[in-house]
């Protein structure tokens, strides 16, 4: 643990023990530096971390104050209890409905995990793309990129990945058409039909659909909404089943929002070592962790090349660019073959534009702003839901990204709820999409990327009213 982390921990423990109460002014940076014998910059770092963790807020020209963190009751969902057998993935039709929904231009889309694309800090990227199209010779712009992807972009990504603890060479990376192709190339490289893939549960519907399409079976592992996949349950599953690979999103999980504690990540690697288990780590939201520096990836701890690290710019920048990457470790050759087979190469222009955006510092600037916005939006949405949703509603407490998992009381069917929400032009992602076998029917995922306004507040309020009405209906019928 670094010094600033220790310092922050000491403060947060005092808050927990009641030495500082909500609204209390905390020691100034200078005071903290003196009382803890740390440098000014360490004290600053400690406060930044306390802010990220939701313990403190800074008030301009005044100092740091204890935040009303405890007053936002964390009604977290319980650890999940999925089926204990490998299953074929059902439901494609519902995913298709989600993807092909014909949204009204003025609808409130809380369904898909699309980042805020109106943020001013993304605008320089489109300007760069325009410049590239004006200035580069058509020959450079329009030809096939190499199979691995643009040298320039891979260099920039290797640099970015140092933040997650990875020391990779650009040639360890393969650029893909979004994270989806990183995941599909990895699963194609590792598996043949009938193989069993262990997954955290709930799990991103995109990866579940790969499992379905390739004729694989999903073994859903119980998952805790704060610490992630249950290591005990995974260990038992490994003893019991011939698991071919593990696919998880351990940092800023989609849909649950947790980040596996670093120690758990280490343990996960250790306990899967005897099985030489391949781990497909989806880190697409990792750079959107609210804490700084961002948590390390499992890949950063992998000494055996067993981790196939998958990511993209779809959540940090923009999904329409379709630029992702995979660091496949010892499976590099197989994954490169699959990437070629599936799409041959990735759009040249988007790669060049993103590489330049990162090189000019635009990526860092944008991410810093988005993290703050998403964290604020999370707190706001949690308050709204606490206010408007039925008693007994539980929800996740995301530590990064921009999706919230909401578990409704009783047995409210969120597929039905989503249909009825069309009436007020609002869409949600029903929980069933995130399970191989249609579990989580009383859950939903909500996107909170956009800056809220009256209309989106109203939509959340209406969802709450709808949930209450559906509970009442059930009670009347019974």
| Binding window for a copy of itself (CB under 8 A); candidates: 13-21, 25-33, 153-161, 187-195 | 187-195
Q: Which stretch binds a copy of itself (CB under 8 A): 6-14, 33-41, 124-132, 282-290?
A: 124-132
* Piece of 43-51, 180-188, 261-269, 399-407 that binds a copy of itself (CB under 8 A): 180-188
Judged by CB under 8 A, the chain residues 70 through 109 that form the site for a copy of itself are 92, 95-96, 99-100
Q: Please state, in angstroms and rounded to a whole number, the distance separating the CA atoms of residues 98 and 164.
A: 32
- Exactly one of 84, 347, 386, 437 binds a copy of itself (CB under 8 A); that residue is 347
Strand partners, 119: none
Q: Does 455 bind a copy of itself (CB under 8 A)?
A: no
d(CA 327, CA 348): 19
Contact status, residue 65 vs residue 28, Cβ threshold 8 Å: no
Q: Which is nearer to a copy of itself, 55 or 363 (CB)?
A: 363
Helix (H) or strand (E) holding 63: strand 63-66
User: Of the candidates 139, 391, 477, 478, which one interacts with a copy of itself according to CB under 8 A?
Assistant: 139
Give the containing element (helix H, strand E) for 455. Answer: helix 454-477
Quick check: 294 and 163 in contact, CB under 8 A?
Answer: yes
Is the dihedral angle over the CA atoms 39, 42, 48, 54 positive or is it negative? Answer: negative
340 contributes a contact to a copy of itself by CB under 8 A: yes
Q: Are 435 and 102 in contact (CB under 8 A)?
A: no
- Which stretches of 265-353 are assigned E, i.e. beta strand? 278-282, 307-312, 324-327
Question: Considering the complex, what minimum distance in angstroms separates the CB of residue 344 from a copy of itself?
Answer: 4
Residue 273 as a binder of a copy of itself (CB under 8 A): the answer is: no
Q: Which of 9, 76, 336, 359 binds a copy of itself (CB under 8 A)?
A: 336
Using CB under 8 A as the binding criterion, the count of chain residues that bind a copy of itself stands at: 66
Tell me phi and psi for residue 394, to 5 degrees: -115, 155
Those residues whose C-beta lies under 8 Å from the C-beta of residue 29, and which sit 6 or more positions away, are: 40, 43, 44, 47
Matching residue, tokens 């959540």: 315
Is residue 19 involved in binding a copy of itself (CB under 8 A)? no
Q: Is 210 in the site for a copy of itself (CB under 8 A)?
A: yes
Distances in Å between the Cα of 279 and the Cα atoms of 47, 191, 307 are 35, 12, 5
Q: Binding string to a copy of itself for residues 313 to 332, with x set by CB under 8 A, is what?
A: ----xxxxxx----------
* Nearest approach, Cβ of residue 215 and a copy of itself (Å): 7
Q: Is 22 in the site for a copy of itself (CB under 8 A)?
A: no
Minimum distance of a copy of itself from residue 438's CB (angstroms) = 17
Question: Is 138 an interacting residue with respect to a copy of itself (CB under 8 A)?
Answer: yes
Out of 133, 376, 386, 437, the only residue in the binding site for a copy of itself (CB under 8 A) is 133
Question: Taking CB under 8 A as the rule, does residue 206 contact a copy of itself?
Answer: yes
Contacts of 259 (CB under 8 A, 6+ apart): 228, 250, 251, 252, 253, 289, 295, 399, 400
Binding region for a copy of itself (CB under 8 A): 92, 95-96, 99-100, 112, 114, 117-118, 122-123, 125-127, 129-131, 133-134, 137-139, 141-148, 176-178, 180-181, 184, 188, 192-193, 206, 209-210, 212-215, 317-322, 336-338, 340-350
């Amino acid at each position: 643990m670094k010094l600033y982390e220790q310092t922050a921990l000491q403060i947060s423990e005092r808050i927990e023990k009641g030495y500082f109460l909500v609204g209390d002014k905390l020691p100034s940076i200078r005071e903290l530096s003196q009382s803890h014998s740390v440098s000014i910059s360490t004290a600053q770092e400690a406060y930044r971390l306390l802010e990220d963790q939701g313990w403190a807020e800074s008030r301009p020209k005044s100092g740091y104050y204890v935040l009303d963190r405890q007053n936002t009751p964390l009604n977290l969902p319980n650890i999940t209890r999925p089926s204990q057998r490998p299953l074929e993935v059902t439901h494609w039709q519902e995913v298709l409905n989600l993807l092909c929904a014909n949204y009204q231009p003025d609808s409130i889309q809380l369904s898909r995990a699309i980042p805020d694309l109106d943020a001013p800090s993304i605008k320089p990227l489109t300007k760069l793309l325009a410049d590239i199209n004006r200035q580069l010779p058509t020959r450079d712009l329009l030809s096939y990129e190499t199979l691995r992807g643009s040298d320039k972009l891979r260099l920039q990504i290797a640099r970015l990945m140092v933040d997650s603890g990875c020391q990779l060479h650009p040639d360890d990376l393969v650029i893909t058409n979004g994270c989806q192709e990183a995941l599909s190339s990895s699963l194609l490289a590792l598996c043949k039909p009938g193989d069993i893939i262990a997954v955290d549960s709930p799990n991103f519907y995109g990866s579940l659909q790969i499992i379905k399409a390739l004729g694989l079976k999903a073994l859903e592992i119980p998952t805790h909404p704060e610490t992630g996949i249950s290591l005990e349950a995974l260990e038992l599953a490994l003893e019991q089943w011939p698991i071919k690979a593990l696919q998880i999103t351990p940092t800023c999980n989609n849909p649950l929002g947790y980040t596996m504690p670093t120690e758990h990540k280490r343990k996960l690697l250790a306990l899967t070592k005897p099985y030489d288990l391949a781990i497909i780590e989806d880190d697409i939201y990792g750079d959107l962790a609210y804490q700084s520096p961002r948590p390390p990836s499992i890949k950063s701890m992998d000494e055996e090349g067993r981790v196939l690290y998958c990511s993209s710019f779809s959540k940090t920048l923009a999904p329409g660019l379709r630029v992702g990457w995979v660091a496949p470790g010892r499976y590099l050759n197989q994954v490169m073959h699959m990437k070629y087979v599936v799409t041959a190469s990735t759009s040249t222009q988007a790669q060049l534009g993103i590489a330049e955006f990162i090189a000019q510092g635009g990526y860092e600037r944008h991410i810093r702003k988005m993290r703050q916005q998403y964290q604020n939006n999370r707190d706001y949405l949690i308050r709204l839901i606490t206010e408007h949703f039925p008693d007994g509603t539980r929800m996740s407490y995301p530590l990064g990204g921009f999706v919230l998992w909401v578990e409704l009381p009783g047995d409210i069917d969120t597929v039905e709820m989503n249909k009825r929400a069309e009436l007020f032009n609002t869409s949600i992602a029903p929980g069933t999409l995130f399970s191989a076998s249609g579990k989580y029917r009383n859950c939903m995922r909500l996107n909170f990327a956009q800056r809220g306004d009256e209309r989106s507040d109203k939509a959340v309020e209406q969802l709450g009213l709808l949930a209450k009405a559906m509970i009442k209906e059930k009670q009347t019928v019974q």
